[in-house]
Amino acid sequence: MTEQTVWKASVRGVPRSFTEEHRLKATSGLRSHHAKNAVGVSIRKSGTKSGYVYFTTGKNARRAVHIVVMEDLLGRALAPGECVHHVDQNRSNNDPINLRLMSRSDHAALHRALEKGVTNGLT
């Protein structure tokens, strides 16, 4: 008994045809492997968001960890004018003690002051 070929792909540059059953087994195996072996986070290495840690799997995939942590602490999503500040300015330190909820304007003012070297009482 032959199965109908419905899936075509190139394997190492060689065109191949696969059955639907084979395609389903291959993709479910790949998803299973990723679910078991995925680290779950990555660190952006370039651009304006570099240094921030992002979830790579699950319901928060492609979301910044510090934002998810703050939303969990608050029990709600961040409002449009809110942002999360890293007190020690280490973008990969997402310990709740290191995170502060701020308005975007206050956050910008804080970073302008820190750039000028004003640090008394600012975090």
Q: What is the dihedral of CA 38, 41, 47, 50, to 10 degrees?
A: -140
Residues 39-69: tens digit of each pLDDT: 677 777 766 678 888 888 888 888 999 999 9
Residues 79 and 111 grouped into a single domain: yes
Residues 66-79: tens digit of each pLDDT: 999 999 999 999 99
Which token pair is 117? Answer: 């070297």
Residues 45 and 89 grouped into a single domain: yes
List Cα–Cα distances, 56 to 22, 29, 45, 63, 103, in angstroms. Answer: 27, 19, 14, 8, 27
CB 102 within 8 A of CB 110: yes
pLDDT at 1: 44
**106 vs 2: which has the higher pLDDT:** 106
In a domain, 95, yes or no: yes
Q: Which domain holds residue 18?
A: 5-37
**21 vs 110: which has the higher pLDDT:** 110
Percent of all residues in the chain with a pLDDT value above 90, rounded to a whole number: 36
